[in-house]
Amino acid sequence: MANCPENTRLHKFISFVFIIALSSTLCAQAYARGPYSYTGVELQNAVDEAYEKFKGLKDGKNADYIPILATVPSELFGVVIVTKAGDVYSAGDTDYIFAIESTSKPFNLALVMEEYGPEEVQEKIGVEATGLPFNSKLAMELIKARSVNPLVNAGAIAQVSMVKAKNEEERWDKVFQNMKDFAGTELKVMDEVYESEITTSWSNRAIANLLYNYGRLYSEPEDALRVYTKMCSVGVSTTDLGFMGATLANGGVNPKTGKRLMKEEYVHHLLAVMLTAGFYDESGEWAYTAGLPSKTGVGGGIVSVVPGVLAIAAFSPRLNEAGNSVRAQEAIDYISDKFDLNIFKPRKLPAVM
């Protein structure tokens, strides 16, 4: 029976069907992966490589104009990828709690957009990059609109003042709860950071008063200043920051909790502002190299978003002259380049098997 021609033909037919079925499955999997799909092993390897490659960088120094930030250990370094499904890949000091600082600004902007819509944000604050340092008062004098971008200090103080509330306490409760919702976990204000900042906030106080004078602040100046300073003093880990970014990557839905925090049709407006102004006055260079909507903070954190795919967050307190973490930006740029995440690059379909 083993040498029967009919059996041989049957075996060949079954083998042929199996090969066709396997090929079809592999082709389907290739197309299902798409140009932005990577295995967990690939993502973890990239995070490990970025951490090892840049952990020895000694460039830059801690921010010291906020005294408490100068005391953070300079060698801390953490890198995290959080996918839109909530999968986490991490290396280094990713559980260390640091001050979120200006990295908080896009997430509060999301709250303001939810309350008013993108058009009113554009009208009452603006969405143009200033091309000047994040704490510039000269920008308000040179630019007729006074506040023109919600991710520099003037615009961020203005956006805090726009949060709908009967009083300062209610305004802070809404701002803080929104941040916790984006992180998908409980957060705390770092009291020492807040006290260090509020007692030395002469520059931001001047900005708030100038905005109020020009009719571009929507609450009392001291009210807005205190809420803004508390917002910047919230403590987060690199993993928390990764989930905040992943919520934007996931179209406004937190992948950990499933809670919608922002209308999907508003997310691209927010990401556009992050791309043009999220890296302070190095935003053009960042778009040119990494090509990702991002936000940095002088506490050493950076979060970058690949829309519809994942977020990359990194933390290290050594900053360059523009106020951006040296190690964190190198790590994110490395991962972006490794996986061709730059949003300006053409996407290629996988080859047909």
228 labeled binding residue: yes
247 belongs to a structural domain: yes
What confidence tens digit (pLDDT) does each residue in 168-208 have?
999 999 999 999 999 999 999 999 999 999 999 898 999 99
Show Cβ contacts of residue 172 under 8 Å, excluding neighbours closer than 6 positions. Answer: 226, 227, 230
How far, in Å, CA of 24 to CA of 18, rounded? 10
- Would residue 255 count as lying in a domain? yes
Q: Please state the three-class secondary structure of 300-353 as a single string.
A: CEEEEEECCCEEEEEECCCECCCCCEHHHHHHHHHHHHHCCCCCCCCCCCCCCC
In this prediction, residue 346 carries a pLDDT of 80
- Tell me how far apart the alpha carbons of residues 331 and 312 are, in angstroms, rounded to a whole number: 9
The number of distinct structural domains making up the chain is 1
Domain carrying residue 51: 40-338
Q: What span, in angstroms and rounded, lies between the C-alpha atoms of 124 and 57?
A: 41
- Report the candidate in 247, 306, 303, 298 with the shortest Cα–Cα distance to residue 114: 247
pTM of the model: 0.85
pLDDT tens digit sequence for 33-80: 455 678 999 999 999 999 999 999 999 999 988 889 999 999 999 999
pLDDT value at residue 14 = 40
243-257 average pLDDT score = 98
SS3 99: strand
Q: 27-31, 114-118, 263-267, 309-313: lowest mean pLDDT where?
A: 27-31
Per the annotation, does 204 bind a ligand? yes
Find the angle CA(339)-CA(345)-CA(347) to the nearest 5 degrees. 75
Q: Please tell me whether 288 is known to bind a ligand.
A: no
Give the percent of the chain with pLDDT over 90.
72
pLDDT score at 236? 98
Q: What is the pLDDT of residues 207-226, one digit of tens each?
A: 999 999 988 899 999 999 99
Q: Do the annotations mark residue 304 as ligand-binding? A: no
**What are the start-end ranges of the H helices in 259-312?**
264-277, 283-289
Question: 186 labelled as ligand-binding?
Answer: no
Q: What is the CATH number of the domain that holds 117?
A: 3.40.710.10
Whether 128 is in a domain gets the answer: yes
116 among the known binding-site residues? no
Consult the annotation and say whether 266 binds a ligand: no
**Does some domain include residue 353?**
no
Distant-in-sequence, close-in-space partners of 269: CB < 8 Å, separation ≥ 6: 113, 118, 121, 127
The answer to whether position 237 is within a domain reads: yes
Q: Identify which of 238, 237, 247 has the alpha carbon closest to the alpha carbon of residue 181.
A: 247
Domain-embedded: residue 139:
yes
302-322: average pLDDT: 96
pLDDT band at residue 16 using 50, 70 and 90 as cut-offs: very low
Asked if residue 17 belongs to a domain, the reply is: no
> Is there a domain that residue 228 lies in?
yes
